A and B are shown apart, each in its own frame.
Chain A
Amino acid sequence: MHILVVEDDPTVRNFVAKGLREAGHLVEPVDNGKDGLFLAVSENFDLIILDRMLPGGIDGLRLLETIRAQNNSTPVLLLSALADVDDRVQGLKAGGDDYLTKPFAFSELLARVEALSRRGRSDNVPQTRLVVADLEVDLLSRTVRRGGQRIDLQPREFRLLEYLMRHAGQVVTRTMLLEGVWDYHFDPQTNVIDVHVSRLRQKVDKPFDTPLIHTIRNAGYMLRAE
């Protein structure tokens, strides 16, 4: 993926760029809004990682509003120290696709980057069936089958599995699950997500030979065929 990183802090910028390169992406790091805007409109990126507070007269939100006004729909991940709910709403309303607050874990950033890139591709075709290996989810009849065997899931477990299936092959963090499945935007102190994932595992993985839901240490979970 071709990713533009607009971030003024050199430590954060180098850290993000290095990590993304290691993950196999092509990264263009920029340290101010003016250069960022110039690159964003002159080149084609798959994703933009954008800091909100930038030097050089053009801050993140203005950059974002400008490229959105030019019908540029490149997914934008806002990365900001402004963490209030109001700030998040403001960022998302300006055209951001996701909002990550500092300090952040790189695994979280990477997971969100991958989720965003995937979403851009699959949103066009409405899906009715999700398939990973021998696991099938029918979104219309809301049934789950694995190896031809029907699995009964609670509604919430179904939504959790659906979310994992839609992001199959990607790391999904606990925060993403909280936001995506429960629509909660705060960090519960207990490991509620782990408990729910382990219950889902009991039903989806336990009776079968190969596990599909994998725990990614220090990051979250991933659903993938072995």
Chain B
Amino acid sequence: MQPEGEDRGRGGRRRFRLPRSASLRFSLGYGVLFALSSILFMSFIWWGTIGFLERQVETAINADARALSQRWAEGGLPTLALTIDDRLEQNLDDDAIYLMVGPTGNRLAGNLSEWPAQVVRTDQWYSLKVTRAGMRDTAEVRAFALPGGFRLLVGRDVRARAVLRRLLTDSLLWAWMMVTLLAISGAVLVHGMFRRMIKSIAQTSSAIARGDLSRRMPLVGNGDELDQVAEAINEMLDRIVRLMDGVRQVSNAIAHDLRTPITRARTQLEDAALHAGSAAELRLAIERAVGNLDNVTAVFEALLRIAQIEAGSRRSAFAPFDLVPLLTDIGDLYEAVAEEKQIRLALRLPSCLPFYGDKALMQQAVANLLDNAIKFSPAGGTVTLAAATGPALPGLTMLAPGASAVSIAVTDEGIGMDEADLARASERFFRAEAARHTPGAGLGLSLVQAIVQLHGGVLRLRAQQPGLSVRMILPVARQAQPQARAAAPIPIPPAPRAQHPAVVTETSQSPHERDR
């Protein structure tokens, strides 16, 4: 009890405190609403019934009084007294009360022995105890003044009404108690149901919050709102897990791919500082270290470039151009390399491939693909660079209806990839086991993927026998061309960089302000 009292004390200071459980609040609200509405409802019945009875008595008395005053007007005192006697005789319920007194207070007619002392005024109802035939009863009476100082008292015995009222009050109270009991049990039931529904979600999410990301919301399977919520949460969890895995992989890979050249450079420099015998040896070690640091820079630049492209900020350089000369040029650049490795580079291009996009990025994407293909092709193999227009595939964004898609495919006859690796090939730093020992950081395909996504396309990898086919399917957004032509030659100023925001913004705003 003690802690509860303390709790209430604290709650009292903050005026009012709702229970922390939503289901309890919900069911309490339900119970209170139910009880209050039943109180209201029953009070209405009570007041309605009792008020009706009261009004009925008053109407009867008023009608009586009117009739009696008419009698007085017709025949005066004797007629009225006769009428009262008649009425009393005919009154089967024995609830009528009449009394007529003279100016001195002497009884002239009626069934009351004397005028009640408290009845003074004629414009007011009196509820009083009357003694009638030796019995004390509650009566509702009203006084009327007659000409000549005569007074008339008309009333009704309301003993039956009091009984009825008690009976009604009792039964309504009982009914209300029952209703309240029902409300409480209903509230408990709702509370339980609510809690059961929420509990699984709460349990799962708290398990996840504690780090157990393998947990999932249980599904009832009937597709109701709760199932929809659970499904949405499960989907979100899947995505979080994928992202977390990605982050973990990237950080592992960064730890490896960047740490290795840094360690090498450091070792070479330290070794040279400690052991180099001649200037030539020292110089050689330093040169090697610089080479390793250049590798670090290259990986960093690739990562930054991917991040930048993925952020979509490179769309400013989009312009319409023909893909064929671009592809021919790259083919020309790589043909020599392929020939050196005794690989045949075959180009299968149409005469013209109008395209809308970033020329430099497309160059880089195709160059990356050719680079990979040649790297993984055995001597005597063929690498094919093919491009064609075709109907657009579903799933391409940035697409006007009826637009076509350009597909650029690079196919090699190299070691290829197995199914599991194919799915992960464009992940940052991912390198298939077979490719572990070839140079590179595993960023090439992620860069291509980022470029393809920027252009609203998809990247498809397919294992060949032997080799691998990488296909970029890019939408040709014809609608974007006219407005892009105007915008393309003017590069949008770069977004302020995080490291030097003040410098860049200052420059672009007022270049000569301080010079004058």
Contact = CB atoms under 8 A, between A and B. Distances in A.
Nearest to B363: A184
B336 A196 contact: yes
B122 interface: no
Interface in A69-98: 69, 82-87, 89-90, 93
B297 A103 contact: yes
Interface residues of A, number: 36
B12 interface: no
Given A85-B314, A189-B371, A189-B440, A62 B511 contact: yes
B336 A199 contact: yes
B339 to A, nearest CB: 8
Contacts of B368: 189
Given A84-B308, A85-B314, A182-B329, A195 B367 contact: no
A21 to B, nearest CB: 20
B492 interface: yes
A59 interface: yes
Given A58-B514, A66-B511, A192-B334, A186 B444 contact: no
- Considering residues B304, B440, B514, which has the most beta carbons from chain A within 10 angstroms of its beta carbon? B514
B340 A66 contact: no
A4 B298 CA distance: 29
A53 interface: yes
A192 B374 CA distance: 11
Given A57-B514, A187-B298, A189-B440, A86 B316 contact: yes
A187 B493 CA distance: 24
Interface in A140-196: 156, 182, 184-192, 195-196
A184 B367 contact: yes
A138 to B, nearest CB: 23
Nearest to A87: B494
A85 B316 CA distance: 11
B367 A65 contact: no
A210 interface: no
Given A90-B493, A199-B336, A37 B507 contact: no
Given A66-B511, A90-B491, A188-B367, A218 B287 contact: yes
Nearest to A93: B491
Contacts of B503: 53, 59
Interface string B361-374: 00110011001001
B360 A186 contact: yes
Contacts of B497: 82
Contact of B375 (A37, A61, A190): A190
A62 B367 contact: no
Given A62-B507, A188-B371, A190-B371, A86 B493 contact: yes
B494 A90 contact: yes
Contact of B439 (A182, A185, A187, A189): A189
Contact of B444 (A82, A189, A196): A189
A105 B291 CA distance: 10
Contacts of B293: 103
Contacts of A190: 337, 371, 374-375
A62 B515 contact: yes
Interface residues of B, number: 43
B515 A37 contact: yes
B437 interface: no
B271 interface: no
A57 B314 CA distance: 29
A185 B283 CA distance: 30
B506 interface: yes
B491 A89 contact: yes
Contacts of A59: 503, 506-507
- Considering residues B314, B337, B492, which has the most beta carbons from chain A within 10 angstroms of its beta carbon? B337
A86 B444 contact: no
A87 B360 CA distance: 14
Contacts of A61: 507, 511
Contacts of B314: 85-86
A86 B367 contact: no
B301 interface: yes
Contacts of B337: 190-192, 195
Contacts of B336: 192, 195-196, 199
Interface string B491-516: 11110010010010011000110110
Contacts of B364: 186
Nearest to B374: A190
Contacts of B492: 86
Contact of B367 (A84, A89, A186): A186
B358 to A, nearest CB: 9
B379 to A, nearest CB: 15
A103 to B, nearest CB: 6
A66 B329 contact: no
Contacts of B494: 82, 84, 86-87, 90
B333 interface: yes
A92 B298 CA distance: 23
A86 B504 CA distance: 13
B262 interface: no
A177 to B, nearest CB: 11
A87 B314 CA distance: 12
B317 interface: yes
B332 interface: yes
Contacts of A58: 514-515
Interface of B: 287, 290, 293-294, 297-298, 301, 304, 308, 314, 316-317, 329, 332-334, 336-337, 340, 360, 363-364, 367-368, 371, 374-375, 439-440, 444, 491-494, 497, 500, 503, 506-507, 511-512, 514-515
14 contacts: A59-B507, A61-B507, A66-B511, A85-B317, A86-B493, A89-B491, A156-B332, A184-B333, A184-B360, A185-B360, A190-B374, A195-B337, A195-B340, A218-B287
Given A184-B360, A199-B336, 15 more contacts: A59-B503, A61-B507, A61-B511, A62-B507, A65-B511, A66-B512, A86-B493, A90-B491, A103-B293, A103-B297, A184-B333, A184-B363, A191-B337, A195-B337, A195-B340
Nearest 10 pairs of A and B residues by beta carbon:
A195-B336, A86-B494, A89-B491, A186-B364, A65-B511, A62-B511, A195-B337, A61-B507, A66-B515, A196-B336
